């Protein structure tokens, strides 16, 4: 049995002993009394009876040995700011923020909503909440007022921390008007709002409710705020993810299990060591930002880069597709975490930018967010000359569900596959209709996790245990398993391939086709940089596939004849790989695909445009003109 196979086996079959070992990676004020309590499945409780604190493990415990080491490195290509905080300086700033929160009435168990751009004060606020036992709920900065209002209503925060504005590509996005409108719409009215003024946009302040952070910080420069020791099962934060009912789901996370899961993932998965630098290009509004911009690297004693800006914008505000690699060189980043969509953006730039900087400090580039197609994976692997490690997880899982744990045993990656199940995750493939387990290679089924779920996994849906059970655990007939709602297959070596959402299936003349499978096939054409496939209602077939493609070289697509020629070539690729049934009804060419600012494709919005329906909330869309391109193509 290989080293990782034995490591994984112990995590499933000798669960308590395995996780008791991992628990020694963090500090406890009181040792756990019970490692895994699954007596109320699926509500698994980890390390019950133990008391700890996330902020202590991320900041305070490092002061004795690395107080002057870099902890938080803030880089904003939007404002031209670059500033480093040592662990000692981070400790001081977090205490100032914690004292401010307490002065505004926040205590243990209270909720604090954070609606912020990628600025240090956002990290201070998260850590300060953890320090005093408050529960933070970060909402992606710039989110629409209606969406923010629904999250305010559900969390019922005592305080909201926000800012005057964010910025994207040099365009200022005022936050305060969005926040004011959200509070007006919400039935819950938070008694206090704490504002960071970046000087980017004017703010109207509501007397008695709105407070200036700079003023309050100055009053607490030397205030000492000790960590509040909380039970391992104490809720650390909630993070909202979209629900099929329209009501967002508040994914609820514990404290001890989350700390242990992240502490273990640093050496085992990311090969990170204390004193090194972790560069995650995500946003704190997403779970990746929580786990691998803020808590994970800091718990592991690493410096973490907090980046505000585009992957192609330099510190001087000009075009610089080499900015990320320059930061890898400058701060000697050993671990980098990004998304396939970001790599595809860089893929369209001059490859000379990748050769301009010394990236030899990188042990690997980790990618997640959407499946990594093979052409993109090979391109960035050849360009960087470092291992490219895909990984697959969800807001609900808190850390990677599948990847390669090279820190345990070095194994090859396979392009197109996120890897193998991670320790603690008892992953199965089940037949959606019968619930039968699929044990052979290359059998398509729903990816599920058999309980008990590992440390760091969601506890429940905030204030809605029934929804947690019904949504996640009761969707497979006759089985009480956690459903990822993703199709997958497993090859003979145990590597998984994710084929797309079970609810993104196209039903063409009674045949079920995954959009992801068609996208993967189209991506194999040498002139395809990006692709999105959606199912569109059709009177004859029920649905047909429509593909929207960004060409790698669009210079030749000057007329209809050239576009039709490329469209025909792409359809032949799909015919050859998947059969004529999967062939898109049309392949349309666009300059850019509509995405959120975090890089996720807005497939549902594309589908809505194609079907002439309302697209819903598009506040988080990166380029509003992208959807108009599709609309123009569809209606012409």
φ/ψ region of 249 (left if φ > 0, alpha if ψ in -120 to 50, else beta) reads beta
Per-residue model confidence (pLDDT) at position 87 = 98
Distance, in Å, from the CA atom of 283 to the CA atom of 286, rounded to the nearest integer, reads 6
How many of the other CB atoms lie within 10 Å of CB of 469?
16
The tens digit of pLDDT for each residue in 78-98 reads 999 999 999 999 999 999 999
Contact by Cβ (8 Å): 34, 48: yes
User: Residue 628: which CATH number?
Assistant: 3.30.300.30
Query: How many Å separate Cα 317 from the centre of its chain?
Result: 26
**Tokens, residue 617:** 């909330």
Q: Cα separations (Å) of 297 from 175, 495, 545?
A: 28, 27, 42
User: Does the residue 146 lie in any domain?
Assistant: yes
**Tokens, residue 248:** 């967002």
Phi, psi at 249, each rounded to 5°: -95, 125
Q: Is the pLDDT of residue 203 over 60?
A: yes
Looking at the DSSP bridge assignments, the partners of residue 103 are: none
Q: Do the bridges between strand 586-589 and strand 482-490 make them parallel or antiparallel, or are there none, so unpaired?
A: unpaired
- What lies within 8 Å, CB to CB, of 614 at 6+ separation is 608
End position of a domain, from candidates 201, 223, 245: 223
Q: Is the pLDDT of residue 353 over 90?
A: no
Contact by Cβ (8 Å): 239, 458: no
End position of a domain, from candidates 172, 195, 223: 223
HEC string of 520-552? HHHCCCCCEEEEEEEEEEECCCEEEEEEEEEEC
Q: Is the pLDDT of residue 433 over 80?
A: yes
Between 550 and 582, the higher pLDDT residue: 550
Q: Measured at the alpha carbon of residue 471, what is the angle toward residues 143 and 403, in degrees to the nearest 5?
A: 75
User: Does the residue 180 lie in any domain?
Assistant: yes
Query: How many Å separate Cα 580 from the centre of its chain?
Result: 35
Phi, psi at 389, each rounded to 5°: -120, 110
Per-residue model confidence (pLDDT) at position 242 = 66
The tens digit of pLDDT for each residue in 298-334 reads 999 999 999 999 999 999 999 999 999 999 999 999 9
Angle between helices 15-23 and 256-268 (to 10 degrees): 80
Between 555 and 94, the higher pLDDT residue: 94
User: Does the residue 449 lie in any domain?
Assistant: no
The tens digit of pLDDT for each residue in 436-447 reads 999 999 999 999
The tens digit of pLDDT for each residue in 381-406 reads 988 999 999 999 999 999 999 999 99
**Tokens, residue 179:** 């926040």
Q: Is the pLDDT of residue 48 over 70?
A: yes
User: Does the residue 51 lie in any domain?
Assistant: no
The tens digit of pLDDT for each residue in 495-516 reads 999 987 776 667 776 666 778 8
* Percent with pLDDT over 90 in the chain: 76
pTM above 0.95, yes or no: no
User: Residue 96: which CATH number?
Assistant: 3.40.50.980
Per-residue model confidence (pLDDT) at position 59 = 98
Per-residue model confidence (pLDDT) at position 342 = 86
Range of the domain at 210: 81-223
User: Does the residue 361 lie in any domain?
Assistant: no
Instruction: List the one residue out of 179, 165, 237, 186 whose CA is nearest residue 210.
Output: 179
Domain count, the chain: 2
Q: Cα separations (Å) of 586 from 137, 261, 387, 547, 603?
A: 42, 45, 36, 6, 16
DSSP single-letter state for residue 454: P
The tens digit of pLDDT for each residue in 607-631 reads 989 998 888 767 667 777 888 888 8
Phi, psi at 17, each rounded to 5°: -65, -40
Distance, in Å, from the CA atom of 401 to the CA atom of 421, rounded to the nearest integer, reads 6
End position of a domain, from candidates 191, 206, 223: 223
User: Does the residue 356 lie in any domain?
Assistant: no
User: Does the residue 30 lie in any domain?
Assistant: no
Between 29 and 594, the higher pLDDT residue: 29
Distance, in Å, from the CA atom of 460 to the CA atom of 224, rounded to the nearest integer, reads 34
Averaged pLDDT of the chain: 93
Between 414 and 506, the higher pLDDT residue: 414
Per-residue model confidence (pLDDT) at position 598 = 67
Average pLDDT rounded to a whole number, residues 1-7: 95
Distance, in Å, from the CA atom of 304 to the CA atom of 307, rounded to the nearest integer, reads 9
Per-residue model confidence (pLDDT) at position 41 = 97
Which DSSP string corresponds to 308-344? Answer: ES-TTB-TTSSB-TTHHHHHHHHHTEEEEEE-HHHHH
Q: Is the pLDDT of residue 244 over 50?
A: no
User: Does the residue 622 lie in any domain?
Assistant: yes
């Amino acid at each position: 049995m290989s080293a990782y196979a034995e490591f994984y086996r112990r995590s499933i079959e000798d669960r308590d002993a395995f996780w008791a070992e991992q628990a020694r990676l963090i500090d406890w004020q009181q040792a756990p009394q019970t490692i895994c309590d699954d007596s109320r499945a699926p509500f698994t409780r980890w390390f019950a009876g133990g008391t700890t604190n996330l902020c202590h493990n991320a900041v305070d415990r490092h002061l004795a040995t690395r107080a002057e080491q870099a902890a938080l490195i803030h880089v904003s290509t939007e404002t031209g700011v670059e500033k480093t905080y040592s662990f000692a300086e981070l400790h001081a700033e977090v205490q100032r923020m914690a004292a401010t929160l307490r002065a505004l009435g926040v205590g243990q168990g209270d909720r604090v909503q954070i609606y912020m751009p990628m600025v240090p004060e956002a990290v201070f606020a998260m850590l300060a909440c953890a320090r005093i036992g408050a529960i933070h709920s970060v909402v992606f900065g710039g989110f629409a007022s209606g969406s923010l209002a629904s999250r305010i209503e559900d969390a019922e925060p005592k305080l909201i921390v926000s800012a005057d504005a964010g910025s994207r590509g040099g365009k200022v996005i005022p936050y305060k008007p969005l926040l004011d409108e959200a509070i007006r719409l919400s039935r819950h009215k938070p008694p206090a709002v704490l504002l960071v003024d970046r000087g980017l946009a004017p703010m109207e302040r509501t007397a008695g409710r709105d407070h200036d952070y700079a003023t309050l910080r100055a009053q607490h420069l030397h205030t000492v705020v000790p960590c509040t020791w909380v039970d391992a099962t104490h809720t650390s934060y909630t993070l909202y993810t979209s629900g099929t009912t329209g009501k967002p789901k508040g994914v609820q996370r514990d404290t001890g299990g989350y700390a242990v899961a992240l502490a273990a993932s640093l050496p085992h998965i990311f090969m990170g060591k204390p004193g090194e630098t972790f560069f995650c290009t995500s946003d704190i509004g997403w779970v990746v930002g929580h786990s691998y911009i803020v808590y994970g690297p800091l718990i592991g004693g690493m410096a973490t880069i907090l980046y505000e800006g585009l992957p192609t914008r330099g510190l001087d505000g000009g075009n610089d597709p080499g900015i990320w690699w320059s930061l890898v060189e400058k701060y000697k980043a050993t671990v980098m975490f990004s998304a396939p969509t970001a790599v595809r953006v860089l893929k369209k730039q001059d490859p000379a930018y990748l050769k301009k900087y010394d990236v030899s400090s990188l042990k690997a580039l980790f990618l997640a967010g959407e499946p990594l197609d093979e052409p993109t994976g090979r391109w960035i692997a050849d360009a960087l000359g470092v291992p490219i490690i895909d990984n697959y997880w969800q807001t609900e899982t808190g850390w990677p569900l599948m990847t390669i744990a090279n820190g345990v045993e070095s194994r090859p990656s396979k392009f197109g596959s996120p890897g193998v199940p991670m320790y603690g995750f008892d992953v199965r493939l089940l037949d959606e209709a019968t619930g039968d387990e699929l044990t052979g290679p290359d059998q398509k089924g729903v990816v599920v996790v058999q309980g008990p779920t590992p440390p760091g996994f969601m506890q429940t849906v905030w204030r809605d245990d029934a929804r947690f059970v019904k949504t996640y655990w009761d969707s497979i007939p006759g089985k009480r398993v956690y459903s990822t709602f993703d199709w997958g297959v497993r090859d003979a070596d145990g590597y998984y391939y994710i084929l797309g959402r079970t609810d993104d299936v196209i039903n063409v003349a009674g045949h079920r086709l995954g959009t992801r499978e068609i996208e993967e096939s189209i991506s194999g054409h040498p002139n395809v940089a990006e692709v999105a496939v959606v199912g569109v209602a059709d009177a004859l077939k029920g649905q047909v596939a429509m593909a929207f493609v960004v060409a790698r070289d669009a210079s030749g697509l000057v007329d209809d004849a050239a576009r039709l020629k490329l469209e025909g070539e792409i359809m032949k690729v799909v015919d050859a790989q998947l059969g004529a049934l999967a062939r898109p009804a049309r392949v349309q060419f666009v300059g850019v695909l509509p995405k959120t600012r975090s890089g996720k494709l807005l497939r549902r919005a594309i589908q809505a445009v194609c079907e002439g329906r309302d697209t819903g909330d598009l506040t988080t869309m990166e380029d509003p003109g992208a959807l108009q391109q599709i609309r123009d193509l569809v209606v012409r």
